[in-house]
Amino acid sequence: MASPPRVFDRKLLAVRRARALRAARPGADFLLERVAEDLLDRFAAVTRHFDTAVEIAGPTPALAAELVATGRIGRLFRLDWTAASRPDAVADEEALPLAPESIDLAVSVLSLHFANDLPGVFAQVRRALKPDGLFLAALLGGDTLTELRQSLADAEAEVTGGASPRVAPFAELRALGGLLQRAGFALPVIDQDRVTVRYANALE
């Protein structure tokens, strides 16, 4: 079987992520907070107790703390690919250190879109979950940064006569549903939330 294309330099991403966490300004994580709040709302709709939970590649401990505060999680472990986010263990989500059927809940917020092998990540999560386990995740989708992508392409074409990709590719909603089914998830539910953020210029 052919290896998935290496779209992202994971080591470079880890360095940049650590740098961004160190230099974070108040309010810079507004999108992360919004998405985490949405995941918490979805978690609240599930009334069962989860003995063992794992947060995969969470950029901050905030979501994990909120989940534990609900009183419906026995133990929660945080995995991330950089020590800067203060995880319980440093691990790449493309090679999860989780035994088969060892966890009841897996959550991930705004990180999996940087996986080179997203189908493989989904398959690993499915194997790690117990038969009645739950997977909650949020990632950037296909229409993300459309305006920025088009503006950069137009500007480069005007200056150089050609254009190269300047914005990372993101998976389409329908494709994500297919990937989850292929990974073995029985009842995947997928939706999208459009958030418009305006900036005065591309460098702001």
Please list the pLDDT of the chain residue by residue as tens digits (204 residues): 567 778 778 888 888 888 887 877 887 788 888 999 999 999 999 999 999 999 998 888 889 999 999 999 999 999 988 888 888 998 888 999 999 999 999 999 989 988 989 999 999 999 999 999 999 999 988 887 778 778 877 888 888 887 777 777 788 888 899 999 999 998 898 888 888 888 887 666
pTM of the model: 0.87
Q: Give the pLDDT score at 131.
A: 94
CA distances (Å), origin 194, targets 32, 137, 143, 144: 14, 16, 9, 9
33 and 75 Cβ atoms separated by less than 8 Å: no
Does 147 fall in a domain? no
CATH number for the domain spanning 83: value is: 3.40.50.150
Does 134 fall in a domain? yes
Q: Give the pLDDT score at 37.
A: 93
Does 33 fall in a domain? yes
Does 79 fall in a domain? yes
Residue ranges making up the domain that contains 108: 10-139
Angle in degrees, CA 59, 60, 62, rounded to 5:
140
pLDDT digits (tens, 9 = 90+) for 94-109: 999 999 999 999 999 9
CA distances (Å), origin 108, targets 32, 55, 78: 11, 6, 10
Does 14 fall in a domain? yes
Q: Give the pLDDT score at 82.
A: 82
Tokens of 102: 């060892």
Does 173 fall in a domain? no
Q: Give the pLDDT score at 70.
A: 95
Q: Give the pLDDT score at 2.
A: 63
| Number of separate domains in the chain | 1
Does 86 fall in a domain? yes
107 and 56 Cβ atoms separated by less than 8 Å: yes
What residues does 107 pair with on adjacent strands?
Answer: 55, 136
Contacts of 79 (CB under 8 A, 6+ apart): 54, 55, 56, 57, 87, 88, 89, 90, 91, 93, 96, 97
- Residue 35: how many other CB atoms lie within 10 Å: 19
111 and 58 Cβ atoms separated by less than 8 Å: yes
3-state DSSP call for residue 3?
coil
Between CA 103 and CA 46 the distance in angstroms is 16
Between CA 122 and CA 94 the distance in angstroms is 9
3-state DSSP call for residue 124?
helix
Does 30 fall in a domain? yes
